[in-house]
Amino acid sequence: MGDISGKRVLVREDLNVPMADGQVSDDTRLRATLPTVTELADRGAIVLILAHFGRPKGPSAEFSLHQIVAPYAAVLGRPVHYVDWEGDAAAVAKLQPGDVAIVENTRFFGGEEKNDPATVARFASLGDLYVNDAFSAAHRAHASTEGLAHVLPAFAGREMEAELDALDKALGNPEHPVAAVVGGAKVSTKLDVLKHLVDKVDHLIIGGGMANTFLAARGVNVGKSLCEHDLTGTADEIFAAAEAANCTIHLPYDVVVSKEFAANPPSLRTCNVHEVAADEMILDIGPAATEALADVLKNCRTLVWNGPLGAFETPPFDTATVALARTAAALTSEGSLVSVAGGGDTVAALNQAGVADQFTFVSTAGGAFLEWMEGKELPGVAALSR
């Protein structure tokens, strides 16, 4: 990047934090911006943070990034300026080297999501350089995530670099054997993930509601479990592809079931997958399966994880997820496993298990993480590596 002192740097960050009663309820995304923003400011740049916030239909107070300025200043530990799209050029002209400003919601322009050249030019007029630090928005070819990289000298930010590096270690150039855990509610939302993974990993561990569809394809009666019976043919195709690719698919052989979906239900029991009654549903994988999966991880060098193994929000159906997450965390701490996890509910489950900070890398990027697991090229990343 060279000498950037006095240069206006447009930094695309992810400031799309959850709010409750007008307060930021989780500042993880704000903290993730700190390495890039402080480094640029310390190098004397005028740091102009570009970000979207929510899904506005046009300018509105509800979706204004003005409400993030004070919480962001508190996290950054420095003053943060605000640049509105009215009078933006004059506001930027007043900033000094080392200053940090949040520029108003990029989605106040209809052209942002259309990657409209006029909007790209409008954004570009404020800066001399472009840094993309928002991996979580990189699956979208928008003006601020992709278009700007074509019109200004473009660089990856520190968080973006860390994320790409971790993902490369997990699936790009991983140490084998590699295990993938894919769980969650439905097969239909993760078909492309499963198809891509069978070619990449040595062990594919299927849990959660999606395991039920695979069990049904194997002729197991899953009772009234969440199950996509119309996708058993697709499950068969994935079994065949895995066999051809020498990938072992792991399905549970014992499960935790109950007649009603409630916390600690009276009908709770653990059984073999072949003993699920017609009026029961599978809500977690069982202890024997969990122990077998722990042994798989002990023999692996790399783990990539998306999706909980059970309905983890409702006790005790978080048991398998918490246990396997703790095994993965311990193996990571011992240095025998590189562990990368992502997905909204997955991150929540790892936090519930208290082990998120022991994983090698936990991605907070929902959609972008899944598209990366599908093997797709992310437009925001591709534009940087031109």
Summarize as ranges the residues that interact with Mg ion (CB under 5 A).
344-345
Q: Which of 78, 122, 169, 186 is catalytic?
A: 186
Instruction: Tell me whether residue 157 or residue 252 sits nearer to ligand ADP (CB atom).
Output: 252
- Answer yes or no whether residue 254 interacts with ligand ADP by CB under 6 A: no
The CA angle 250-251-257, to the nearest 5 degrees, is: 150
Tell me the closest approach of the beta carbon of residue 372 to Mg ion, in angstroms.
16
Cβ–Cβ < 8 Å for 328, 170? no
- Answer yes or no whether residue 307 interacts with ligand ADP by CB under 6 A: yes
Residue type, 332: T
45 φ, ψ (degrees, to nearest 5) = -75, 160
User: Is residue 186 among the annotated active site residues?
Assistant: yes
Instruction: Tell me whether residue 69 or residue 185 sits nearer to ligand ADP (CB atom).
Output: 185
Tell me the closest approach of the beta carbon of residue 98 to ligand ADP, in angstroms.
39
Residues 313-332 that bind ligand ADP (CB under 6 A): 313
- Answer yes or no whether residue 252 interacts with ligand ADP by CB under 6 A: no
The structure tokens 């991983």 sit at: 174
Tell me the closest approach of the beta carbon of residue 304 to Mg ion, in angstroms.
16
Which CA distances in Å does 170 have to 166, 178, 195, 249, 374?
Answer: 6, 8, 17, 18, 13
Tell me the closest approach of the beta carbon of residue 34 to Mg ion, in angstroms.
26
Cis before 174 (ω within 30)? no
Helices (H) and strands (E) in the chain, counts: 16, 17
Residues 267-296 that bind ligand ADP (CB under 6 A): 282-283
How many residues of this chain interact with ligand ADP, rule: CB under 6 A? 20
User: Is residue 29 among the annotated active site residues?
Assistant: yes
Residues in contact with 189: Cβ distance below 8 Å, sequence separation at least 6, in sequence order = none
Q: Which residues of 183-216 are buried (b: 16+ CB within 10 A; e: fewer)?
A: bbbbbeebbebbbbbbebbbbbbbbbbbbbbbbb
Instruction: Tell me whether residue 133 or residue 371 sits nearer to Mg ion (CB atom).
Output: 371
- The interface partner of residue 208, options being Mg ion, ligand ADP, none and the CB cut-off 5 to 8 Å by kind, is ligand ADP
DSSP 3-state assignment of 269?
A: strand
Tell me the closest approach of the beta carbon of residue 359 to Mg ion, in angstroms.
18
- Answer yes or no whether residue 226 interacts with ligand ADP by CB under 6 A: yes
The residues annotated with a catalytic role in the active site are 29, 186, 344, 367
